[in-house]
Amino acid sequence: MTYKTDTLCGMFHKQANRYKNLEMLRGKYDKEGRPQNAWASQSWKDVQDEVVDLGRGLVALGLKPGDRVAVFSENRPRWVIADQAIQACGAVGVPLYSTLTLEELSYMLGDSGARMAIVSTQQKLEMALKAKSHGVPLEAVITMGPIEGQKPECVYTFAEIIGIGKSQASFNHLEDRMSRVTPDDIASIVYTSGTSGRQKGAVLTQKNLVSNIFQNTNSTIFKRLKKLEPHLTHLCHLPLCHAYGRTCDYHVGVLHLGNVLVFAESFEKIQENLLETRPNVVITIPRFFEKYHHSVLSVLSRQNNRTQAFFSWAMRVGKRYTEAMAHARRMPGRDILQFALANALVFNKVRKLSGMDRLVFASSGGGKLSEEVCAFIRALGIQLSEGYGLTETSPTINLNEPEFKGIHSESVGWFTSKMIDWTIDLVVTNLAQGKSPYANPLRALKMDIAYRGVAHRLEIKPGTVGRPVIWTEERIAEDGEVLVKGPQVFQGYWKMPEETKEAFTDDGFFKTGDIGSFDEDGFLRITDRKKEILITSGGKNIPPHPIELALMARPYIEQACLIGDARKYITALICPDIQETKRLAKKLGILAASDQELLEISQIRQIIQKQVDEVNATLPRYAQIKYFMLLDEPFSLETGELTPTFKFKRRVIEDRRKELIEKMYLEHDPAALAQKQQNGKLKVPS
């Protein structure tokens, strides 16, 4: 059978037949799907064989084209295998976050009408069975690993389904199913993260997802990498059930470019896994780079004055490089030499200490990254790009991709083409092997020539999310909302015709819900979420996200959430960086028995107040933070206050911290406090 590249299953099998025994997936799991301490690899052929046999088993179990199958699992190799088996059957995948509550799981299984669920662990199996007992009409639950205790009739292991497939369904029948999958078929129903209410199922077709693969890889560099086939390694840690991680790591990285997907153990273990695997590509969220920025500055603050001064010099040079690249402007020779020295003497060492010495490409999405942090990371010599999109747009609609300004790869001359090849060889092929362009005199000379020739034209603007990707039309509505139209835009919300109609303009543009504007070069800058803008009782509109980012860029503030909608003024809930605060306390000779006691000490509060004042000084009076409360418990996935991509669920935060917020406002409003106390309605939290 000849596999086409207009469907996800066609792309996978075409690549599998091409790469065969080359590595495709790597994770800390044994052959039975159990977690282990050692890394284990699977080749394209290994994965293809398992996909085919699992797909045959699903067909034998009665799965029909168009049926929905939920995948309730954290990231692991069998997530990809399960997804490809579902695609091969012509069925619809329903990827679910591994952090769902039983209520959320039951809702999504029932809403999608999933006939089957593929789960990763015993705990998730038990949750699926509870959902079934509560009325969700699941016909079968399949586990990725072994089952503990007695097995119910409707439960199967991966191995059992594969065995059923081999004995009861033919390969030809599965191939016939694959040949019938078309670009217009539904590939997946992806539920939104629920930052603004009930999760909705976004219906994404094969065309939506495949189009976005090519939209993400239209630059000169990606087109040449496709031909070079360097088989880069991705350290995959974003949930594959999230459109951003799924498209960029799995679809673009593996299905299109033939790269290797290495599964991090968890977001908490990302630093350890970086050092173990030294990946070439990291697709991540702003929180990753914010924490890295804090970590580097924290370590630097404990060094001697000479080291700090040396690093400051290197950063000044690095920022000149970043600024030049933002405008595709060639730096003077003296600055180029200094940047090479800064890399050789400082940046290479910093990257190596954090496991990023082989990193050739990094991407930040799923939220806004501050311009300060972006410029800092890029100054270190890490090729960081930002993108923008939503679940409903598969997800990418804008990309700040590294592209040569004013050069069209199809019509360049011999010299320009050679300089592009040199650039890719030095900053991708060599760097992927740990060979920095600036650690060897010959490579440094070659890099200098390539930079003067074409590399200086690589245009990336920190603080923006780039231009619209190919085949995409965008405009800004009168109220500042970004509107978009393109082949990656979803078909609508599952079983929600009214919500679907409301999501589009009369002329077919999708309403993103984000506020933004284009600069003179066509780069989009996102300022905030339309629904998250705080409107004070005085009628002032205040976008909270830029202020929160400015606060979280301070060394002792880990998280900051602004409060103030329908109130007289803005306040904030601040979660300090406890480890940094403890170091500071030790330096000042402050003793505290607990984290809460530490945060109640006036010296600590004064330091946080000073950082808040620094941010306030940049804001108009009506947007300034009047008061704040320090929390010793951070916002987290477990408390339901964060989405899986670490965005605030403001409604949940305000509901969960309602008494604290009320107390904070009442303490500074004597008249209201007296009235509350008189009425006996004030409940002050202990």
Q: What is the pLDDT of residues 138-195, one digit of tens each?
A: 999 999 999 988 889 999 999 999 999 999 988 899 999 999 999 999 999 999 876 5
Residue 607: count of CB within 10 angstroms of its CB: 18
Q: Is the domain of 427 the same as that of 538?
A: no
Q: Which of 196-205, 428-437, 554-563, 603-612 has the lowest mean pLDDT?
A: 196-205
What pLDDT, in 10s, does the model give residues 225-235?
999 999 999 99
Residue 96: count of CB within 10 angstroms of its CB: 26
pLDDT of residue 537: 86
Mean pLDDT, residues 80-103: 96
Burial 289-309 (b: 16+ CB within 10 A, else e): bbbbbbebeeeeeeeeeeeee
Q: Is the domain of 237 the same as that of 315?
A: yes
Q: Is the domain of 437 the same as that of 296?
A: yes
Q: What is the DSSP string of 102-128?
A: HHHHHHHHHHHT-SEEEESSHHHHHHH
Q: Which of 194-203, 295-304, 470-479, 649-658 has the lowest mean pLDDT?
A: 194-203
Residue 197 — very low, low, confident or very high, per pLDDT cuts 50/70/90?
low
Q: Is the domain of 393 the same as that of 252?
A: yes
Classify residue 481: in a domain, yes or no: no
pLDDT of residue 188: 98
Indicate the residue among 401, 425, 459 that finishes a domain: 459
Do residues 314 and 347 lie in contact, with contact meaning Cβ atoms separated by under 8 Å? yes
State yes or no: pLDDT of 362 exceeds 60: yes
**CATH code of 237's domain:** 3.40.50.980
Adjacency order of strands within the sheet including 92-96? 155-157, 140-143, 116-119, 68-72, 92-96, 186-191, 201-205, 492-493
Residue 204 — very low, low, confident or very high, per pLDDT cuts 50/70/90?
very high
Q: Is the domain of 673 the same as that of 573?
A: yes
**CATH code of 672's domain:** 3.30.300.30
What distance in Å separates the CA atoms of residue 661 and residue 577, rounded to the nearest whole number?
21
**CATH code of 55's domain:** 3.40.50.12780
What distance in Å separates the CA atoms of residue 547 and residue 563, rounded to the nearest whole number?
11
What distance in Å separates the CA atoms of residue 594 and residue 570, rounded to the nearest whole number?
29
Q: Is the domain of 287 the same as that of 423?
A: yes
Tokens for 456, please give them.
């200086």
What distance in Å separates the CA atoms of residue 249 and residue 656, rounded to the nearest whole number?
34
Classify residue 54: in a domain, yes or no: yes
Which residue do the tokens 């679940």 mark? 391
What pLDDT, in 10s, does the model give residues 374-429?
989 999 889 999 999 999 999 999 999 888 988 866 678 899 999 999 999 999 99
For residue 607, the enclosing domain spans: 533-679
Classify residue 318: in a domain, yes or no: yes
**What predicted TM-score, i.e. pTM, was given to this entire model?**
0.89
Angle in degrees, 0-180, between the axes of helices 44-60 and 77-88, rounded to the nearest 10: 50
pLDDT of residue 196: 53
Ramachandran region of residue 554, left (φ > 0), alpha (ψ -120 to 50) or beta? Answer: beta
Classify residue 610: in a domain, yes or no: yes
Give the three-state DSSP class for 414.
helix
Give the three-state DSSP class for 573.
strand
Classify residue 628: in a domain, yes or no: yes
Q: What is the DSSP string of 211-242?
A: HHHHHHT-SHHHHHHHHH---PEEEE-S-TTS
Tally DSSP H helices, then E strands, for the chain. Answer: 27, 28
Classify residue 203: in a domain, yes or no: no
What distance in Å separates the CA atoms of residue 244 and residue 74, rounded to the nearest whole number?
15
Indicate the residue among 436, 459, 482 that finishes a domain: 459
Give, rounded to a whole angstrom, the gap between the first and last alpha carbons of the chain.
69
Spell out the long-range contacts of 319-324 with Cβ–Cβ below 8 A and sequence spacing 24 or more: 319/375, 319/379, 321/378, 321/379, 322/375, 322/378, 322/379, 322/462, 324/456
Classify residue 439: in a domain, yes or no: yes
What distance in Å separates the CA atoms of residue 382 and residue 626, rounded to the nearest whole number?
38
Q: What are phi and psi of 21, to 5 degrees?
A: -90, 5
Indicate the residue among 459, 485, 517 that finishes a domain: 459
Classify residue 198: in a domain, yes or no: no
Q: Is the domain of 418 the same as that of 544?
A: no
Residue 686 — very low, low, confident or very high, per pLDDT cuts 50/70/90?
very low
Mean residue pLDDT across the chain = 92
- Sign of the C-alpha dihedral, residues 102, 104, 105, 109? positive
H/E stretch holding 491 reads none
Q: Is the domain of 260 the same as that of 144?
A: no
| Beta pairing, strands 116-119 & 92-96 | unpaired
State yes or no: pLDDT of 114 exceeds 90: yes
Q: What is the DSSP string of 525-538?
A: EEEEEGGG-EE-TT
**485 beta partners:** 473
State yes or no: pLDDT of 572 exceeds 70: yes
pLDDT of residue 667: 83
State yes or no: pLDDT of 631 exceeds 60: yes
DSSP H stretches of helix in 302-344: 305-326, 333-342
pLDDT of residue 637: 84
Q: Is the domain of 148 the same as that of 241?
A: no
Do residues 320 and 309 lie in contact, with contact meaning Cβ atoms separated by under 8 Å? no
Q: Is the domain of 325 the same as that of 397?
A: yes
Q: Is the domain of 332 the same as that of 454?
A: yes
State yes or no: pLDDT of 671 exceeds 60: no
State yes or no: pLDDT of 352 exceeds 50: yes
Residue 666 — very low, low, confident or very high, per pLDDT cuts 50/70/90?
confident
Give the residue among 473, 409, 74, 436 at the shortest CA–CA distance from 240: 74
State yes or no: pLDDT of 72 exceeds 60: yes
Count the domains in the chain. 3
